[in-house]
Chain A
Amino acid sequence: MADTALTEPRSRADARPRASRGTRRRRPQWVGYLPYLLPGAVAFGVVIGYPLLTNVYFSLFKWRGGMAPLRWNGLGNYVDLLGDDKFWTSFGNSLAMIVAMVLVPTLLGLVLAAVLFDYLGRRFGERVSSVLRATYYLPQILPVAVAGVLWNWILNSQTGALNVILRGLGVETPPNWLGDPDTALPSVMLVLIWVQMGYPVVIFMAALQRVDPELYEAAELDGAGWWDRFRAITVPQIRPETFVVTLTCTVAALKVFGPIYVLTRGGPESSTLVPSYYSYLNFFDKSQVGYGSAIATVLTLVIVAVALIILGLQNRAERREREGV
């Protein structure tokens, strides 16, 4: 899973002898494979490349969409963004999304995977640990819109299950979870943790199967406790998977749209507004297509920058590990 061809040194080393092996006059062998890239190249050009560039183009105009005229605005939309409180709020909330979709699930996932694999799996058998794993993973398989609709009802202030239960317990005025600017963001974060947690558990448990069991046995014979083994074996051994989980979940957290749409629509008072929803709002609700395109462009740049940083950290960690060994 973590085997990115980008970081794999072997593929680079392989390429050189192959290229020089053939006689100079002959066409290199790889040229014959180019037709296989053609459908992919065309499809990506049409569905991703061209729209991406067009979006940047749109962001330089004031445009109400549809048949309305495009009016040149230069970098005006971007200048407006800098002074737009909602824009800053939405990126601030992205940090909360990263806490809820990356930080907490990864830490919880590490501990849960290690407990299931290295502790419960051995004491109560494979079956127990795989049933628990499947349970944790369950929220991941249901459409996020369905999860959102269900939670929206559970958290509803009047008829929702949670507040009906709370009133039954004697709480006179239970919080309006999604309707109060103070509680809306934490509520959304809790839902996202619930949705997200199973993913790292499954990936980490699969990763642990790759770790040589003799490492654990040797450590145990040396008298290492569970925590020592977790720190000295589990965490370093599955570092590649941790990077993959961090990268994919961070990108997902920056892109999050569906849960916000069904839970709060960015409200109340923009307290749960995120960049993707803010651009959607400008595209299809406020008819400010140019402005929406500018938000989407900035979001794209932020995602690419964050991804490059994480990939860079991964490369450095791998290099250090190789040098260490």
Chain B
Amino acid sequence: MAAVATDPRPAQVRATAVDSRYRRGAGRWLVLAAAVLVGLAVLAPFGIMLLNAFKSPQDYAANGPLSLPSSLYLDGVVAFWERTDFPVKLWNSVFISALVAVGGALLSLLNAYAIGIGRVKGRLWIIALFLLANMLPQEALIYPLFTMAQSVGLSNSQWSVIIIFTVIQSAFGTYLLSSVLGTFPPALLEAAALDGASRWRILWQVVFPIVRPTLSVLMIFFFIWTWNEFFIPLVMLTSNDTQTIPIALASLQGDRMMDAPTINAGSLVSLVPAVIFFLIFQRTLTRGVTAGAVK
């Protein structure tokens, strides 16, 4: 215990010495100002959106986009909420993204188990195929998918979108997980095999618990990616009761009734779920991105 307690001290002394060497000079303030300026430029559209989401059209006409709203105007939010039937769209987005996240991670794990741990023959080609699938433009799949969905009675169905994205997302997941599992400690697998565990049991009781952090990062990625998807939902989901949030917002765009507050409130309401989700999982994400890069 005592040794552990005294150990860090020299390191600390060294660290602060280094720090004080850095904490000098006025140049660093200029660099900080430049970096902050870039940050403000990135934030500006968000700021303008916030300022104008709760401002009446008359207020906007009189005082422009940069003033604070003179009074809290909620009609924009209400108009957007009612016109898009927002709760339905929110549920559609959550439902589709969540199922894709779970299904995609599961499919990736099965594929990667065979490729990374099973080391099946020709795995380099299989991975190359998955990589290729990940790069394909969705336009090269959409018309056949569209006609296939019609012929099996899944036109305008969320299940068609769920199935398609489960497969598309798992292409990336397989690629990533295969290289993670390729470095899985063989000692653990051999020990489990000596105990007589089947491949199925090894997958769930040895491999799964260890790659669970990677899987959860994958699921977050899949969720956000699917949430943000535009092209395939635009084509496949054609009626109001099946559409997702981005499609609902975009389809209001041409509408003449869309005044400044409605557009801004709509954008704001549409991005709130994504931001909340991001804030909740930000830690997992940065850890995962780092882990991925170390690999």
**Residues of A at under 8 Å CB distance from B?**
1-6, 8, 11-12, 14-15, 18, 28-34, 36-37, 39-40, 43-44, 46-48, 50-52, 54-55, 58, 65, 112, 115-116, 119-120, 122-124, 128, 132, 134-136, 138-139, 141-146, 148-154, 159, 161, 164-165, 168, 194, 197-198, 202-203, 206-207, 209-210, 217, 241, 251, 254-255, 257-258, 261-262, 275-276, 279-280, 283-284, 289, 292-293, 295-297, 299-300, 303-304, 307
Residues of A within 8 A of B49 (CB): 150
B74 within 8 A of A: no
Please determine whether B275 and A142 come into contact, CB atoms closer than 8 angstroms: yes
Contact A276-B250, Cβ < 8 Å, known A51-B144, A151-B45, A194-B42: no
Residues of B within 8 A of A279 (CB): 139
Q: How far is the CA of A206 from the CA of B295 in the complex (A)?
A: 11
Please determine whether A255 and B138 come into contact, CB atoms closer than 8 angstroms: yes
Q: Which of A32, A48, A197, A210 contacts B141 (CB 8 A)?
A: A48
CB of A4 to closest CB in B, whole Å: 7
Please determine whether A15 and B119 come into contact, CB atoms closer than 8 angstroms: yes
Chain A contact residues: over half helix, strand or loop, or mixed? Answer: helix
Please determine whether B274 and A300 come into contact, CB atoms closer than 8 angstroms: no
Nearest CB to that of B57 among chain A residues?
Answer: A159
Please determine whether A257 and B289 come into contact, CB atoms closer than 8 angstroms: no
B13 within 8 A of A: no
7 residue pairs from A and B, CB less than 8 Å apart? A33-B120, A48-B171, A55-B140, A144-B228, A207-B293, A241-B293, A257-B138
Write the B235-278 contact mask toward A (1 if CB under 8 angstroms, else 0). Answer: 10000000001110110010000001001101100110011001
Residues of A within 8 A of B113 (CB): 33, 36
Interface size on B, residues (CB 8 A): 99
Q: How far is the CA of A209 from the CA of B247 in the complex (A)?
A: 39
CB of A251 to closest CB in B, whole Å: 5
CB of A55 to closest CB in B, whole Å: 5
CB of B264 to closest CB in A, whole Å: 7
Please determine whether A299 and B140 come into contact, CB atoms closer than 8 angstroms: yes
Write the B272-295 contact mask toward A (1 if CB under 8 angstroms, else 0). Answer: 001100100010001001101111
Contact A146-B28, Cβ < 8 Å, known A141-B278, A159-B260: no
Contact A143-B271, Cβ < 8 Å, known A11-B182, A136-B39, A202-B289: yes
Please determine whether A142 and B271 come into contact, CB atoms closer than 8 angstroms: yes
Q: How far is the CA of A165 from the CA of B52 in the complex (A)?
A: 13
Please determine whether B143 and A58 come into contact, CB atoms closer than 8 angstroms: yes
Nearest CB to that of A108 among chain B residues?
Answer: B38
B11 within 8 A of A: no
CB of B187 to closest CB in A, whole Å: 15
Nearest CB to that of A129 among chain B residues?
Answer: B35
Seed contacts A138-B43, A276-B139; 19 additional CB < 8 Å A-B pairs: A3-B179, A37-B111, A37-B120, A43-B166, A47-B163, A48-B141, A54-B144, A55-B140, A115-B35, A123-B32, A135-B39, A138-B42, A145-B249, A151-B45, A161-B52, A209-B290, A210-B293, A283-B139, A303-B136
Nearest CB to that of A145 among chain B residues?
Answer: B246
Residues of A within 8 A of B231 (CB): 257-258, 276, 280
- Please report the number of residue pairs spanning A and B whose Cβ atoms sit closer than 8 angstroms: 285
Please determine whether A52 and B140 come into contact, CB atoms closer than 8 angstroms: yes
B142 within 8 A of A: yes
Residues of A within 8 A of B253 (CB): 149, 152, 262
Q: Which of A3, A32, A48, A280 contacts B167 (CB 8 A)?
A: A48
CB of B37 to closest CB in A, whole Å: 11
Write the B100-126 contact mask toward A (1 if CB under 8 angstroms, else 0). Answer: 000000010011011101111101101
B78 within 8 A of A: no
Please determine whether A40 and B174 come into contact, CB atoms closer than 8 angstroms: yes
Q: Which of A43, A262, A284, A296 contacts B250 (CB 8 A)?
A: A262
Q: How far is the CA of A51 from the CA of B181 in the complex (A)?
A: 30
B132 within 8 A of A: yes
Nearest CB to that of B40 among chain A residues?
Answer: A135
Please determine whether A119 and B31 come into contact, CB atoms closer than 8 angstroms: yes
Please determine whether B124 and A5 come into contact, CB atoms closer than 8 angstroms: yes
Q: How far is the CA of A143 from the CA of B137 in the complex (A)?
A: 19
Q: Which of A39, A54, A149, A255 contacts B110 (CB 8 A)?
A: A39
